[in-house]
């Protein structure tokens, strides 16, 4: 389902032209139906890897395929993001509204579901 092939990603420091490698030659596969945990200490690249897998970042080298869709193909980014989501460490960063119904409606709205259908789903009818 997810193939990470020799991925390297670097951040540029804000105050100079120095690049710091966050990921270097990362290579693995996650099979459909499997459970995978990515663990490590702060600053080890876990979030950077996740952002590369869902297409928020693009690797400087290597490639990432999500169900055979290449994250570098901008025409497929929304299809990829329907398959790969992120859960943030701080729950406050995941809220888009102070109203529960608006938060519940946020996902279906981003998927392009008709407002009437969203209302029906939010209401639970």
Report pLDDT digits (tens) over 75-98: 999 899 888 877 766 666 666 677
Kindly give the residue spans of alpha helices, DSSP state H, lying in the chain. Answer: 46-53, 77-83, 100-110, 115-123
Is residue 78 within 8 A of residue 84, CB to CB? The reply is no
Same domain? 99 vs 83: no
Same domain? 32 vs 77: yes
Question: What φ, ψ does residue 84 adopt, rounded to 5°?
Answer: -125, 115
The domain tally of the chain equals 2
* CATH code of the domain in which 56 resides: 3.40.50.300
Which residues, listed in sequence order, are joined to residue 8 by a DSSP beta bridge? Answer: 61
Instruction: Quote the tokens at residue 49.
Output: 């890897």
Position 91 scores a pLDDT of 64
Determine if the pTM surpasses 0.75: no
Same domain? 63 vs 105: no
Same domain? 73 vs 118: no
Tens digit of pLDDT for each residue in 45-61?
A: 999 999 999 999 999 99
Q: Which domain holds residue 105?
A: 95-125
- Name the region of 83 (left: φ>0; alpha: ψ -120 to 50; beta: rest): alpha
């Amino acid at each position: 389902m997810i193939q990470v092939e020799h991925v390297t990603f670097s951040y540029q420091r804000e105050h100079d032209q120095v690049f710091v490698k966050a990921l270097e030659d990362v290579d693995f596969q996650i099979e459909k139906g499997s459970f995978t945990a990515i663990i490590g200490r702060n600053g080890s690249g876990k979030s950077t890897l996740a952002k590369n897998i869902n297409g928020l970042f693009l690797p400087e080298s290597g490639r990432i395929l999500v169900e055979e869709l290449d994250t570098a193909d901008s025409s497929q980014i929304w299809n990829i993001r329907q398959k790969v989501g992120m859960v943030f460490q701080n729950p406050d960063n995941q809220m888009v509204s102070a109203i529960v119904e608006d938060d519940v409606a946020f996902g279906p709205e981003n998927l392009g579901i008709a407002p009437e259908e969203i209302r029906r789903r939010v209401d639970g009818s």
